Amino acid sequence: MMEQNQDQTNEVEQEENCPVEENTQDKDNTKKPSKVQRIRSAIFELLVYVAIIVVCVMVVPRYVIQRTIVDGTSMEATLQDQDNLLVDKLSYRFSDPKRFDVIVFYPYGRENEDYYIKRVIGLPGETIQIVGDTIYIDGKVLKESYGKDPMTESGIASEPLKLGKDEYFVLGDNREVSEDSRYEEVGPVSRDKIEGRAVLRIYPLNKFGTLRSQGNKAKAAERSSDADTDDAKVVAIDAGHQSRGNSSTEPVGPGSSVRKAKVAGGATGVSSHVPEYKINLSVAKKLRKELESRGYKVVMIRTKNNVNISNKQRAQIANKSGADIYVRIHADSSASSSVRGASALYPSTKNRYVGKLSAKSKKLSQYMLNSYCKKTGIRSRGLSLRDDLTGTNWSKIPVTLIEMGFLSNPTEDRYMQKKSTQNKMAKGMADGIDKYFNR
Ligand SMILES: [Zn+2]
């Protein structure tokens, strides 16, 4: 127990020696910090700490910046599974998300803890459409190269999709696996579901850095590789047909009143039972690989069987892709099982849609058929003039349709299904394309 009438210096000592005092009712407390004051100041200090902790633990992650872990491969090659990101939650309070920002959002609302990380492609009020691998914004091609592979699913954006006043259209960079705005379940993302912008990768450490600059680096690399391959010829390849035909019709050429089915069913191997759409795609993929190894750029109209792209659309994709030539791959069929051999189909000079492309198309057809038959040993049936093919008539670039052989001939069917044969088929076609371009 201490006396109260001591001087200040002693008082301080006393405080330190004896923090617990009993005389809280003391009247003398105007001259020196009383117990009440000391408690007040301690409480104040405590409150400051609590405030700092609250800001750090609650406010910063909630409103300013938060760590997020990538779950899954849908943003490859930009982000990998389990990358640790910092998400900036503040900027979007002052400005709107921009095109190509990588955002974190809650597709099913904030009450559901599932969040997605995707890239902004379409902005509020814009109309977006995806045809083949090309994205259109308000009818114009969007120049971007974030996609890891060509897109084969356009989902709800296969038809023009108008975004609402506060809606964003997002895509994962890994477009073959990403579940994003193309799909009904996610759809366009409203502003209130967007949590923030992924800005910084903090782990793994060897990839530490801002996402924006990494995106730019990737784009710069792509631009320079574009520059390197500026002379590269571009080949559009269409693997004919698809897993299900489409019997609704379309004009056989621009302005034509004659209409044909959008996609015919195609033949089936009489011995192998392999449908034409499968062997067409299998050879098309081998041709892509072969051409790319020879320095060409390749645009695949389809890379999956389960698509719905009409013959007119296929030609339009080829036209818009910037390709130099359009190669259509098919296999033939006849009522007679003895018929065999390969042919190449091209438009005549009298063709009212593509007559002026006839000469170049003939040259392409001739070179490809010759080299193909030479490499595979499949007999040549020669060239064939055809002005009734929708996919050819809508083309704006030299075009050929290769009938690789007869699926209705058991021997030829079995021969064409072999992997070794298909490698020869691809090499033969590529040889012909080399010749066409004087390589
Ligand atoms: Zn066919």
Q: Is residue 118 annotated as part of the catalytic site, yes or no? A: yes
User: Residue 63 CA to chain centroid, in angstroms?
Assistant: 30
Q: Is residue 162 annotated as part of the catalytic site, yes or no? A: no
Distance 389 CA to ligand 1 centre (A): 11
Beta-bridge partner residues of 167: 190
The domains of the chain, with CATH numbers, are 65-215 (2.10.109.10), 234-436 (3.40.630.40)
Distance 239 CA to ligand 1 centre (A): 9
Q: Where are the alpha helices (DSSP H) in 168-275?
A: 211-228
Distance 398 CA to ligand 1 centre (A): 19
Catalytic residue (choose from 118, 286, 362, 424): 118
CA distance 65 to 395: 51
Q: Scanning the structure block, which residue is given the tokens 């105007």? A: 30
What pLDDT does residue 65 have? 80
Q: What is the mean pLDDT of each run of 10 residues along the chain (439 residues)?
A: 44 43 47 82 90 80 80 81 86 90 89 87 95 90 84 89 96 87 92 90 79 49 41 92 95 93 95 97 96 94 94 94 95 96 96 94 97 97 96 96 98 97 97 94
Q: Scanning the structure block, which residue is given the tokens 């696996």? A: 177
394, 250 Cβ separation under 8 angstroms:
no
CA distance 371 to 293: 18
Amino acid at 54: V
Distance 253 CA to ligand 1 centre (A): 18
Distance 267 CA to ligand 1 centre (A): 7
Catalytic residue (choose from 34, 41, 74, 162): 74
Reduced to 3 states (helix: H, G, I; strand: E, B; else coil), residue 141 is strand
Distance 365 CA to ligand 1 centre (A): 16
The answer, as to whether pTM is greater than 0.85, is: no
Task: Name the E strands within 70-113.
Answer: 84-88, 102-105
What pLDDT does residue 111 have? 80
